[in-house]
Structure 1
Amino acid sequence: MSMLKILIVVTNINAYASGNLETGLWLSELTHIYHAAKEKGYEITIASPKGGNVPIDPESLKPLTLDKISKSYWNEPGFRELLKNSKSLANVADQKFEMVYLAGGHGTMYDFPNDTTMQTIIRKQYESGKMVVAICHGVGGLLNVKLSNGEYLIKGRKITGFNWFEESLARRKKEVPFNLEAGLKERGSDYRKAFIPMTSKVVVDGNLITGQNPFSSKETAKVVMKELEKQTQNK
């Protein structure tokens, strides 16, 4: 059997537009899926809109948010090196992947929604029945994706993502460029959220899987691995 290939997409943006605060990738939203895929022996490509360095949101490195898995990867020089040298989306656009995964972090709110290369990758992936996964603010990368029939991909789809109340809990309401929850609803998605904010929630709708927030990282990775296994068995 050939090795399963997965694409993890991350941000290149290291600060909010105001310049007051740093941002970037939320580390655990990469490490959990990366770890789960690595354990299965899958081939992992990490790419970003521009390629090159992937900034990490300093909030995600604080002792309270840095879980065991994330900490062990963060302490690994090889992994850090990998994050300094992400591939550019343009370089991987023609490759075929079993799964495309959009990691979050507030940085994605700036470089994900309007990236046309990303939109093309996601559309092709989704329309070929392959898995599209997004977590937290990474879900913003799905906002403007249109299918071949001109409809928004997320229209009528069950979906989750970082909600507006969580944004106020994170004290980022005044910093963010838009309200993700409202945007997802405007596109006609069937938006779901956990009863208690900042707790894990994963929504599966066919080959579209979304996780609500950083606390969904572990569960998202688990659900995705299960679904990938199912897919390969059905081949």
Structure 2
Amino acid sequence: MLRARLPLAALALLAAPLLSACAGDEPTVALLVADGTDSSSRAVDVEAFTDRVEATCDECRVEVYDAEGDAATQKSQVRQAAATSADVVVVVPVDPDDLGTLTDGELPVVSLGELVPGSDRFVGLDGGAVPTQSGTDLEAARDVLLGEERSMTYVPTRAMSEQAADVAVSYLAGDPATGGEDVDGVESWLHRDQDVTVDSLTSVLVAQGVLTLDDLCSGATEKRCTRLGLR
């Protein structure tokens, strides 16, 4: 399965003509978040997304809109983003089927996590919708370590967020990203979630920089880590 990513160098080259073409303006990405306070939602890392946009396009900026779980609010925010001259919209939808108006205009739309019908591009999981989780990855990992849960599902939220940022910047540069795969007629980049057990906590989560061994093996889990030979 093809999982294409735009290299930073390529994005930097794409950004150069964009900046001269947009003199006096700040090319803007509107990031519409379903609910920024919902710890069970793992579709987007706002900080990682923003950092990626700013790292690959010096003059670009990100405007974040938080619908706080309300579909009507998100629809209103779509109109607000369009009115304030957003150049591309990246949306983590509250209700994908309720955002038909989002894809009616000329504004490019990138869906993140769940596919909004009519989107121009999509970044998500090849297994479907992003699974929810009670608490953070660290909390879930410590529960697995202590035997309170058999496993946890790791979602590569940061990688998905950075991919969506790359796709958004490609639109700002006037060269929409290609090289993904077809999902319901939409160019898409699909990532894999992983089932993580006590045997793969370090090889998946620590190895990928999701958390550190010190985070995992402190306090109530320290002795457990020692018994398992993790420290």
TM class, shorter-chain normalised? Answer: 0.3 to 0.5
TM-score by length of 1: 0.40
**Which gives a bigger RCO, structure 1 or 2 (Cα 8 Å, sep 6+)?**
2
TM-score by length of 2: 0.41
Q: Give 1 or 2 for the bigger CA radius of gyration.
A: 2
